[in-house]
Amino acid sequence: MTRTTDPNRGRSRLLVPLFPCAVLLLALAACGGGQGAPQGAGGPAKDQAPDAVPVEVARAERRAIAASYTGTAPLEARADAQVVAKTSGVALSVHVEEGQRVRAGQVLVRLDAARAELQAAQSAAQVRKLEANYARAEKLAEQQLVSASDLDQIKYDLANARAANRLANLEVSYASVRAPISGVIAQRSIKPGNFVQINSPILRIVDSDRLEATLNVPERELATMKPGLPVQLQVDALPGRSFAGTVDRVSPVVDAGSGTFRVICAFDNAGLLQPGMFGRIAIDYDQRANALVIPRNALLEDDAKPAVYVVRDGRAVRTTITPGYSEGKWIEVREGLQDGDAVIVAGKSAVREGSPVQVLGAEPEPAPAQAAEEPKQAP
């Protein structure tokens, strides 16, 4: 019996265990096959640069800025009077209401003056009697029929009667209660028919045309506070409104306990302002017409010297500045910046010295040209 041998049978047995090894070698070659290749010709890419931090900037600019002292104080009426009754009696009529404007000398309340009028009439009659007696006594004295001492006594009685009559007439005038100052009736505590006791307050008048606010200013500002300085006032009750005034008086005495002195600010023709309103006051004591300023929120909030981040060549540069006056949202820069410098106002918390930044809203800068193009790999 003849035995036939297949020449390919043994070869297939050898290829089966070698196939997995070949696949593994091809995978390794694909992962690390470029390790020996030079850079720029299919080698690994360079380390990527850090991403630019998006920021908002503002330009240093020139504008007027004022140095001011700010404080808070309630508004008070310069003239505030309690109207009291100078005599007792029943209120026959009340001629004013709360909120009504009155003038000085205007009759506000009338009291019952019948008793006082009778006393005035009695005293007037006594005066007329003594005047007649004195006239007769003078004629008799010329004839030496009346002694000089009797004539002096009649003269004294006449003067006393005249004084009593003036007092009675004054009591009658007290029945008409008049306004001591011009202003507005702020409070009324009397009604017609009420009995009024002498020296009891029945009305209150405030002059709201001229209001004052008193600030207790630290003694270090004593040299800067002068009468006539302009004042700006804002009150919580009228948001968005500003009222102008002046420094009216400055106390030259510093309180030893608090280390402050009093500055009284006046506001004429106050209009909407009312006594008792709480106001924020700014006194401008110096002004620069052409100061270099930046927004206050550009300042870095740390314990180091005052500094800002300035954008130069697409990077953040920490720059120390010398601040000057501050007014509202602006702060003056005495040294450290120039006109047009871009300072970071938003996003500065994510920025460090030398960090690349992207200014939001600015035109994108062209990418720098590469020294040589990378050769393309053959497919």
Three-state DSSP string of 50-111? CCCEEEEEEECEEEEEEEEEEEEEEEEECCEEEEECCCCEEEEEECCCCCCEECCCCEEEEE
Domain ranges of the chain: 50-78+208-361, 79-111+176-206, 114-173
Buried b (16+ CB within 10 A) or exposed e, 108-124: bbbbbbeebeebbeebb
Classify burial at 29, counting beta carbons within 10 Å of its beta carbon; exposed 0-12, middle 13-18, buried 19 or more.
exposed
pLDDT for the residue numbered 378: 43
**Residue pLDDT, tens place only, 187-231:** 999 999 999 999 999 999 998 888 999 999 999 888 889 999 999
Nearest one of 344, 335, 334 to 295, comparing CA atoms = 344
Given this model, what pLDDT does residue 369 score?
42
Fold: same for 50-78+208-361 and 114-173: no
Question: What does the pLDDT average to over 12-16?
Answer: 42
pLDDT of residue 25: 42
Q: What percentage of the chain reaches a pLDDT higher than 90?
A: 37
234-246 burial: b if 16+ Cβ within 10 Å, else e: ebeebeeeebebe
> Residue 375 — very low, low, confident or very high, per pLDDT cuts 50/70/90?
very low
Please report the pLDDT score of residue 249 as a whole number: 93
Residue 215: HSE in the Cβ half-sphere, 13 Å Cα cutoff: 26
- As separate numbers, helices (DSSP H) first and strands (DSSP E) second, the chain gives 3, 21
Residue 82 has pLDDT above 50, yes or no: yes
Question: Within a 13 Å sphere around the CA of 8, how many CA atoms are in the beta-carbon half?
Answer: 0
Q: Quickly state the pLDDT bin for 377 (edges 50, 70, 90).
A: very low
pLDDT at position 45 is 46
* Residue 181 pLDDT class (50, 70, 90 cuts): very high
- The pLDDT score that the predictor gives to residue 106 is 94
Q: Which fold has domain 50-78+208-361?
A: Elongation Factor Tu (Ef-tu); domain 3 (2.40.30)
CATH 2.60.40.1120 fits 79-111+176-206, yes or no: no
* 248 closest CA partner among 231, 265, 261: 265
- pLDDT tens column, 257-307: 999 999 999 998 767 888 889 989 999 888 788 889 999 888 888 777 889
The sign one gets for the Cα dihedral 252, 181, 229, 245 is: positive
Q: How confident is the model at residue 310 (pLDDT cuts 50, 70, 90)?
A: very high
Band of pLDDT at residue 41, cut at 50, 70 and 90: very low
The pLDDT tens digits for 124-153 are 999 999 899 888 888 887 888 878 888 888
Per DSSP, the three-state class of 194 is coil
Computed on alpha carbons and rounded to an integer, the radius of gyration of the chain in Å comes to 48
pTM of the predicted protein model: 0.55
- Distance CA(89)–CA(85), nearest Å, equals 9
Task: Give the pLDDT of residue 275.
Answer: 87
User: Rounded distance, CA 288 to CA 296, Å?
Assistant: 17
Which pLDDT belongs to residue 348?
A: 81
43's tokens: 């080698």
User: Does domain 114-173 match CATH 1.10.287?
Assistant: yes
Question: What pLDDT does 111 receive?
Answer: 94
Taking 3-state DSSP, the helix, strand and coil percentages for the chain, each rounded to the nearest 5, stand at: 25, 35, 40
Phi, psi torsion values for 125, nearest 5 degrees: -65, -40
**What is the distance between the alpha carbons of residues 270 and 211, in angstroms, rounded to a whole number?**
7
3-state class of 122 per DSSP? helix
Per the model's pLDDT, the better-predicted residue between 189 and 379 turns out to be 189
Rounded to an integer, the average pLDDT of 20-43 is 43
Say how many C-beta atoms besides its own lie within 10 A of residue 38's C-beta: 8
As a whole number of angstroms, the distance between CA 222 and CA 261 comes to: 8
What pLDDT does 379 receive? 38
Model confidence at 4: pLDDT above 50: no
pLDDT at 152 (0 to 100): 85
